[in-house]
Amino acid sequence: MTMQVPTIAEMKAKGENPEILFWVGCAGSFDDRYKRVTIAFIKILNKIGVKFAVLGPEESCTGDPARRAGNEFLFQMQALSNIQLLNSYEVKKIVTACPHCFNTIKNEYPELGGNYDVVHHSSYLKELIASGKLKVKGGEFKGKKITYHDSCYLGRANNIYEAPRDLIEALDADLVEMKRCKTKGLCCGAGGAQMFKDAESGEKEVNIERIEEAIDTKAEVVAAGCPFCMTMLSDGVKNKEKENSVKVLDLAELIAISESL
Amino acid sequence: MVNWIQQALFLGTLIVATWIIFKRFKFIKRNILLGKKGIDKDKIGGWKTTLLLAFGQKKMFDKPLVGIMHLIIYIGFVLINIEVLEIVIDGITGSHRVFSSYLGSFYPFLINFFEILALGVLVSCVLFLTRRNILNISRFKKPEMKGWPTKDANIILIWEVALMLALFTMNATDSILQNRFAESSYVASHYPRVGTFAISQFFIPIFSGLDTSALIIVERVAWWVHIIGILSFAVYITFSKHLHIFLAFPNSYFAKSSSVGKMQNMDAVTKEVKIMLGMQQDDGQTPQEVETFGAKDIFDLSWKNLMDAYSCTECGRCTAVCPANITGKKLSPRKIMMDTRDRVEEVGKKIDQKKEGYKEENILYGNYISKEELMACTTCNACVEACPVSIDPLDIILQLRRYIAMEESGTPPAWNAMFTNIENNAAPWAFAPTERFKWSEDLSQDN
């Protein structure tokens, strides 16, 4: 199967409109690990045959890390130019695999003039399964112990706790919870622009505290739905030298792998 | 003691206590209003969150056992106050158990009910004291709890134990006196025969050996200790961390109802950025005086932030779930709230003393809250989620960060590099924008 990744500019040139815009995000575009998540999601989109598009080279940072770091000017520069672009393409529905992009576009763009139906890829995938557009059998994850790490910007910030878990259960996997989960989930340590600087001095790194908890569940896979969590958890696994027994995978990857896409 | 002296003393005490509480109330209200106006009335929790969180104490039940004990103290506090009404009427008019003549057989039932509640309060307070002082619970031992805050918590609990003991003593001695009606007309007329009560009956053996005049003294002392205890407790809490018993209600009412992931937009910035991007014409009006970008002191925070600070009872549930604090960083969301309140109190006092320069001296950022604390926050919202009374420490942290970034240019070099990358490369990392779509080429090679 040849993979299609149409840009919205190409599509518009042909006089067509995408059903969804896949907002890839900076990590999904540049981070080697998260590019694999982008590709997994693209494979799923191709498989179900939905009419989607990406912004491609026109995409730009949502401004989330700048805003959380206190730089409101830079955030609004980003936000207002992104909104200008999105509105010029008359974008209606946006799907993204990044909870930070999701939260910003969904909750913070409206009062700056950007009103879209914004969906995190976990909710989108869940919808696809529920409506029968995407069929999963579980494949290699059947019966495997999988734990899910709640991203703060998906969970507490937007109350999305069930969609990611439903996906894991759809794979017929054995979902095990960490002690701190859902509303009480422990942050990976990267939110609030921490991703872009060293942590303040303390006794421990937050991601180590978190990965220890994940390892305690004896899960073979730690599922995540956020690029920053992905980096932090993967670093944690490396630090604990558990790369051979514990894998950190995104929800879209779980589905793509189980369906051998 | 002659009755009218007691009545006069009582009335005097009542007036003094009410006066102090009124003054403190005005002081605190004025202080809270030092914060900025502008709460969006459409985006608050309203009665729904008030009912759930304040009346229903929903989040207290995250720890079920503690939740139940706290609920007992809360119900005890509210209902036993019905008895305080009787005490106040008795105190002013010189009557005794004035409600008994109106309520008949319902009266002993009511007092029995209060006594059972009072026992619950007593047991809960003793358990809370044990938990705070003997069990090693780390959130009660954090640096910000050293000294006064720990003492404050213990004083409140011991006070409540003493109040309950006074109540039982008062009722036990009263019950004995009721049966000595034959001894004098004073006893007969003053202690209506309403019977013994559910809990205080077990205290009777302690006092039954005393002669009647000694018993009257014990009963009177217990009565006075109880009512003075309650009045001074009411005064004390206005100086302590315990104000949550009142402020939990307005604080949950005004809690943010929009997604907690949403940061407040700075409209002053929007206008400037729109002009910069050519999306809006400069109307030539000098922009309204923008005091400061972000917050450096309490005057830059909202009044809700300041009410949050007064509502905090220092339970530390926020700090116990803070990823930065758990891993040994300096940040403690509880300390952010305590610092904010301490600063507001300091400013309030200086204003009353007509001292100059309070706006410049000892400001919140730098003197109370350090940059290191602020930089450690991951904005994960765990503190906001954990607070039983809808306090939002994150909102304060983010406003102070805005000051550091936009007024001080004091953000760490790594963040400055991230800012530059976003400006130049449209991504927080130093990749060229032309590389952004390169992953799609990798994809075609994949196949």
pLDDT tens sequence across A8-47: 999 999 999 999 999 999 999 999 999 999 999 999 999 9
Contacting residues of A for B278, CB less than 8 Å apart: none
**Within 10 Å of residue B142's Cβ, how many Cβ atoms?**
17
A7 touches chain B (CB under 8 A): yes
Provide the chain A residues 65-124 that lie in CB contact (below 8 A) with chain B: 65-74, 76-78, 80-81, 84, 103, 106-108, 111-112
The dihedral through the CA atoms of B174, B176, B179, B181 has a sign that is negative
pLDDT at B447 (0 to 100): 47
**Within 10 Å of residue A10's Cβ, how many Cβ atoms?**
13
CB contact under 8 A, B446 and A158: no
In 3D space, the residue among B215, B209, B157 whose CA is nearest the CA of residue B184 turns out to be: B215
Alpha-carbon gap, residue B293 to B403, rounded angstroms: 6
Contacting residues of A for B419, CB less than 8 Å apart: 66, 69, 71, 74
CB contact under 8 A, A29 and B426: no
CB contact under 8 A, B380 and A187: yes
CB contact under 8 A, A61 and B428: yes
Q: Which residues 6+ apart lie within 8 Å of B283 measured at CB?
A: none
Indicate which of A41, A55, A61, A106 best probes the interface with B, i.e. most B CBs within 10 Å of its own CB: A61
CB contact under 8 A, B269 and A72: yes
pLDDT at A245 (0 to 100): 95
Give the tens place of pLDDT for each residue, A172-197. 999 999 999 999 999 999 999 999 99
Q: Name which of A112, A153, A200 is nearest B265 (Cβ-Cβ).
A: A112
CATH 1.10.3470 fits B267-282+289-411, yes or no: no
Alpha-carbon gap, residue B66 to B72, rounded angstroms: 10
CB contact under 8 A, A191 and B259: no
- Determine contact, residues B75/B60, Cβ cutoff 8 Å: no
CB contact under 8 A, A80 and B440: no
What's the ipTM? Answer: 0.96
pLDDT at B30 (0 to 100): 97
Helix (H) or strand (E) holding B425: helix B413-425
- Determine contact, residues B400/B296, Cβ cutoff 8 Å: yes
From A77, which residue of chain B is nearest by alpha-carbon distance? Answer: B273
Specify the amino acid at residue A206.
Answer: V
Q: At what angle do helices A121-130 and A32-48 cross, to 10 degrees?
A: 30
A198 touches chain B (CB under 8 A): yes
Query: With a cut of 50, which residues of chain B have pLDDT below it?
Result: 447
Phi-psi region of A95 (alpha: psi -120 to 50; beta: other; left: phi over 0): beta
Alpha-carbon gap, residue B157 to B78, rounded angstroms: 16
Residue ranges of domains in chain A, CATH in brackets: 8-126 (3.40.50.1860), 136-258 (3.40.50)
Residue with tokens 């490369």: B425
Contacting residues of B for A158, CB less than 8 Å apart: 259, 261
Indicate which of B435, B440, B441, B446 best probes the interface with A, i.e. most A CBs within 10 Å of its own CB: B440
Q: What is the DSSP string of B241-260?
A: GGGHHHHHHHHHHTSB-S-T
From A37, which residue of chain B is nearest by alpha-carbon distance? Answer: B439
CB contact under 8 A, A186 and B427: no
Angle at B348 between CA B344 and CA B353, to 5 degrees: 150
Q: Which residues 6+ apart lie within 8 Å of B349 measured at CB?
A: none
A32 touches chain B (CB under 8 A): no
CB burial class (10 A; 0-12, 13-18, 19+) of residue B41?
A: exposed
The dihedral through the CA atoms of A153, A159, A165, A166 has a sign that is negative
pLDDT at A84 (0 to 100): 96
Q: Please provide the size of chain B in residues.
A: 447
**Within 10 Å of residue B386's Cβ, how many Cβ atoms?**
22
A33 touches chain B (CB under 8 A): no
Specify the amino acid at residue B26.
Answer: K
Alpha-carbon gap, residue B279 to B275, rounded angstroms: 6
pLDDT at A1 (0 to 100): 61
**What value does the mean pLDDT take over residues A160-176?**
96
A206 touches chain B (CB under 8 A): yes
Measured in degrees and rounded to the nearest 5, phi and psi for residue B49 equal -70, -30
The beta strands (E) that lie in A44-106 are given as 52-54, 93-96
CB contact under 8 A, B378 and A1: no
For residue B295, the Cα-to-chain-centroid distance in whole angstroms is: 23
Contacting residues of B for A69, CB less than 8 Å apart: 401, 405, 411, 415, 418-419
- Determine contact, residues B157/B129, Cβ cutoff 8 Å: yes
Q: Is B264 helix (H, G, I), strand (E, B) or coil?
A: coil
Instruction: Name the residue ranges covered by the structural domains of chain B.
Output: 3-253, 267-282+289-411, 420-447
CB contact under 8 A, B414 and A197: yes
Q: At what angle do helices A32-48 and B439-446 cross, to 10 degrees?
A: 60
Contacting residues of B for A191, CB less than 8 Å apart: 378-380
Tell me, what DSSP letter sits at residue B364? I
Angle at B43 between CA B37 and CA B45, to 5 degrees: 105
**Residue A238 scores a pLDDT above 70:** yes
CB contact under 8 A, A66 and B265: no
CB contact under 8 A, A156 and B385: yes
From B404, which residue of chain A is nearest by alpha-carbon distance? Answer: A70
From B371, which residue of chain A is nearest by alpha-carbon distance? Answer: A200
